[in-house]
Amino acid sequence: MFTGLTRFIERHHGLHRVSLAVWRLCPPRMAGFLKGMLARNWLVGAVAVMIDENHSPPDVLLVEHSYRPRGAWGLPGGSLESAPGDPTRPGSEPLPDDVIEYALRREVMEELGMGIIVDGLLRIDAIPFVVEEPGPYRLDFFFRCSPDIGFSALREGIDSGRIKPNSPEITQMRFVPLTDLGKYDVFSTDERFLKQDLPRLEPALATRPPA
């Protein structure tokens, strides 16, 4: 409702100018409250794309989420928690320069009990609707990552049971060939990234022949 009202005002320039003039008269606290009501709500996520290219076809690390009845399998990661501080009060607490990468490393450590190296940003995906979790708009940051212990050690640890999920949110983790994604109930946003975006961003992963 409020988003539709905002769009209506923006399309009518005269009404828009009057609204901006009124906005300037609002006390800062009231302006912040109104902006929170009128603006869209966004859920910001950080996602780890860990692909072992030593296998042919390459394998991607997927995790199974215990709380999802649909799209249970997906890439590791999570939603960003609020930054330290109070948005209604001034503050000077410094934040890390790589705040999203920091949040991703923290999420993976909390859920999987393992450290990762963030190799680079692959894609930022703005998603208005998610089939499995309708709700706020999503802004997902997909990062190419690697385990800090190396892929071979991680694979051996998973196979032996020595490395296992560290949170009740994750049931299991598994290396899955990119060619076998259709055998899993993969979360729709992750599936679209792996099947459509990743081959475009890294063509070698799409064209590599099987062993």
Q: How far apart are CA 55 and CA 165, in angstroms?
A: 23
pLDDT score recorded for residue 156:
96
Give the count of domains, the chain: 2
CB 46 within 8 A of CB 38: no
In a domain, 48, yes or no: yes
Give the range of the structural domain holding residue 189, as residue numbers without chain letter: 42-81+96-207
Instruction: Indicate whether 65 and 148 sit together in one domain.
Output: yes
In a domain, 102, yes or no: yes
Average pLDDT for the chain: 84
Instruction: Indicate whether 26 and 62 sit together in one domain.
Output: no
Instruction: Indicate whether 121 and 24 sit together in one domain.
Output: no
Instruction: Indicate whether 34 and 51 sit together in one domain.
Output: no
In a domain, 196, yes or no: yes
Instruction: Indicate whether 125 and 193 sit together in one domain.
Output: yes
Instruction: Indicate whether 8 and 73 sit together in one domain.
Output: no
In a domain, 100, yes or no: yes
In a domain, 65, yes or no: yes
Burial category of 145 from C-beta neighbours within 10 Å (exposed 0-12, middle 13-18, buried 19 and up)? buried
Instruction: Indicate whether 33 and 103 sit together in one domain.
Output: no
Q: How far apart are CA 53 and CA 177, in angstroms?
A: 10
Mean pLDDT computed over 15-26? 70
Q: How far apart are CA 156 and CA 175, in angstroms?
A: 11
In a domain, 68, yes or no: yes
Q: How far apart are CA 127 and CA 189, in angstroms?
A: 8
pLDDT per residue over 178-208, tens digit each?
A: 999 999 999 999 999 999 999 999 988 865 5
Instruction: Indicate whether 203 and 100 sit together in one domain.
Output: yes
Instruction: Indicate whether 131 and 188 sit together in one domain.
Output: yes
What CATH code is carried by the domain that includes residue 119? 3.90.79.10
Instruction: Indicate whether 154 and 194 sit together in one domain.
Output: yes
User: What DSSP element (H or E) covers 21?
Assistant: helix 13-25
Question: Residue 202: what are its φ and ψ, rounded to 5°?
Answer: -135, 80
Instruction: Indicate whether 34 and 67 sit together in one domain.
Output: no
In a domain, 91, yes or no: no
Kindly list the distances between the CA atom of residue 177 and the CA atoms of 56, 97, 184, 188, 195, in Å, as whole numbers in the listed order. 8, 34, 11, 17, 12
Residue 210 binned pLDDT confidence (cut-offs 50, 70, 90): very low
Q: How far apart are CA 23 and CA 16, in angstroms?
A: 10
In a domain, 89, yes or no: no
Instruction: Indicate whether 57 and 10 sit together in one domain.
Output: no
pLDDT per residue over 110-160, tens digit each?
A: 999 999 999 999 999 998 878 877 777 889 999 999 999 999 999 999 999
Hey, what are 107's tokens?
């999420």
pLDDT per residue over 54-80, tens digit each?
A: 988 899 999 999 988 889 999 999 888
With a cut of 70, say whether residue 85 has pLDDT above it: no
Q: How far apart are CA 107 and CA 101, in angstroms?
A: 10
Q: How far apart are CA 133 and CA 76, in angstroms?
A: 17
